[in-house]
Amino acid sequence: MHTIEIKNGIIVDGSGSDSYIGNVYLKDKEIIAITHGEVINSDISIDATGKIVTPGFIDLHSHSDFSFLLDSTAQSKLRQGVTMELLGNCGFSLCAPLNKYTKEDFDSWISEYTDTFDITWSDFGGYIAASKKAKATINLAFQVGHGTLRASVMGYEDRTPSADELDKMKNLAGECLDAGALGLSTGLVYSPGTYSRTDELISIAEEVSKRNKLYSTHQRDEGNDSVGLYVSLNEAIEVGRRTECKVQVSHVKCDSKAVWGTADKYINLLESANKEGLDIAGDQYPYNRWSTSLAGGLFPIWAQAGKFIGMGYVRNDGYIDPDFVLSGEYELEVATKRVRANVCLKPLYDPKLEKVKT
Ligand SMILES: [Zn+2]
């Protein structure tokens, strides 16, 4: 086996210590030495001058739930240096558990890519086994989505669960966590997660806390669309406080003019929760737009109650394809005919519109 040298790179080893210029030596798929410049005889030398040499990046916020089942090579992530992904974010674990309600969601998403996918599982353990069998080139970790649990037990109903339904959700959450899910995610801006009240979240998150796993949340409002950014952040903190779960606030942002320039306040709230003894953190996109499904971005939550609404399609003229609208109690005619699809890519902050305080 050849010895490989990666020479003169800026080494960031992931331990938190400062970077330094050095050489990395590999043999038999293992690192055999890291030097600060000392040279070891090698068969192959790669010049990494000016480049960062690092073990890899963890993508904590991914929606690649079924991507590895379709293409396990994961070129798009691997070539960015991502070596691990945490799936099942924002309340959606699209691949599991699957039953008559959630299978409709799964079919809708996967039909974007293939007509011939063969589902070999229905529970979370089966899904993890299928993912392992696919032999992904990077490491995968899974979360179970609260929206998926809720849809499994009570469909897309806009109401609080009965005691029996809540028990079923808790049991199902426990089952998924025991089968290997690393945590529970919520998507409180999306149907059906948005129909929950805080007590429901706390009740289910207790299953997470018992197992010392993660509660991650796409919070209920990231701007001023419903309860407001700070009431929403306090809800995430309250879940941590009352369950003692580790909490991850997903894709932190101040989304809407009403809260632009208040990032300091946001961070102060997170820091004071940590000082109080909670384990709460946040993450951000590496870009200054938000990204979501058309249904999640455009249609009012009341209009999505009672049924699953898929991804949405944009026609060449920029309007949403009306075929996308499923029949239900409410018709989304106004939205489909008049709303321009590009509003789903609205800027988080546009310096031309307003100067944000720093
Ligand atoms: Zn999200």
pLDDT (tens digit per residue) in 13-63: 988 899 999 999 999 989 999 999 999 999 999 999 999 999 889 999 999
Region 169-193 average pLDDT: 96
CA of 212 to the centre of ligand 1 (A): 23
CA of 167 to the centre of ligand 1 (A): 26
CB-CB contact of 59 with 77 (8 Å): yes
Q: Where are the beta strands (DSSP E) in the chain?
A: 3-11, 20-27, 30-35, 44-47, 52-53, 57-59, 82-86, 139-141, 143-145, 183-187, 214-218, 246-249, 280-282
Write the single-letter amino acid at 344: C
Query: Is the pLDDT confidence value at 314 over 60?
Result: no
Closest CA to 156 of 187, 182, 193, 186: 193
Please report, to the nearest 10 degrees, the dihedral formed by the alpha carbons of residues 4, 8, 9, 12 taken in order: 100
Eight-class DSSP state of 314:
B
What's the pLDDT score for residue 87?
A: 97
Instruction: Give the pLDDT band of residue 226 (cuts 50, 70, 90).
Output: confident
**Å from CA of 187 to ligand 1 middle:** 6
Cβ atoms of 193 and 223 closer than 8 Å = no
Residue 338 tokens, joined? 């008049």
pLDDT score of 191 more than 80: yes
Which superfamily does 4-53 belong to? Urease, subunit C, domain 1 (2.30.40.10)
Whole-number pLDDT of residue 216: 98
Distance of CA 352 from the midpoint of ligand 1 (Å): 26
- The H or E element that residue 267 is part of is helix 263-275
The pLDDT score that the predictor gives to residue 133 is 95
**292-315 mean pLDDT:** 59
CA of 163 to the centre of ligand 1 (A): 28
Domain-wise residue ranges, the chain: 4-53, 57-282, 294-357
Render pLDDT for 59-76 as a digit per residue (tens, 0 to 9): 999 999 989 999 999 999
Q: How many A from CA of 50 to the centre of ligand 1? A: 35
- Residue 252 CA to ligand 1 centre (angstroms): 9
Q: What spacing in Å lies between the alpha carbon of 194 and ligand 1's midpoint?
A: 12
pLDDT of 277 above 90: yes
Q: What is the pLDDT of residue 224?
A: 87
Q: Residue 306: its pLDDT value, please?
A: 62
In the reported structure, the alpha carbon of residue 232 is separated from the centroid of ligand 1 by a whole-number distance in angstroms of 14
User: Is residue 104's pLDDT more than 60?
Assistant: yes
The overall pTM is greater than 0.95: no
Q: Does domain 57-282 have CATH number 3.20.20.140?
A: yes
Q: What's residue 297's pLDDT? A: 64
Instruction: Check if the beta carbon of residue 218 is closer than 8 Å to that of residue 293.
Output: no
| Mean pLDDT (whole number) for 279-288 | 88
Question: What pLDDT does 331 receive?
Answer: 33
Range 245-260 average pLDDT: 92
Q: Which of 209, 210, 192 minimizes the C-alpha distance to 149?
A: 192
4-53 and 57-282 agree in CATH topology: no
Q: What are the CA-CA distances from residue 248 to residues 78, 190, 236, 270, 358 (Å)?
A: 24, 18, 9, 10, 25
Are 273 and 240 spatial neighbours (Cβ–Cβ below 8 Å)? yes
Across 126-224, the runs of DSSP E, i.e. the strands, are 139-141, 143-145, 183-187, 214-218
> What distance in angstroms lies between residue 105's CA and the mean position of ligand 1's atoms?
17
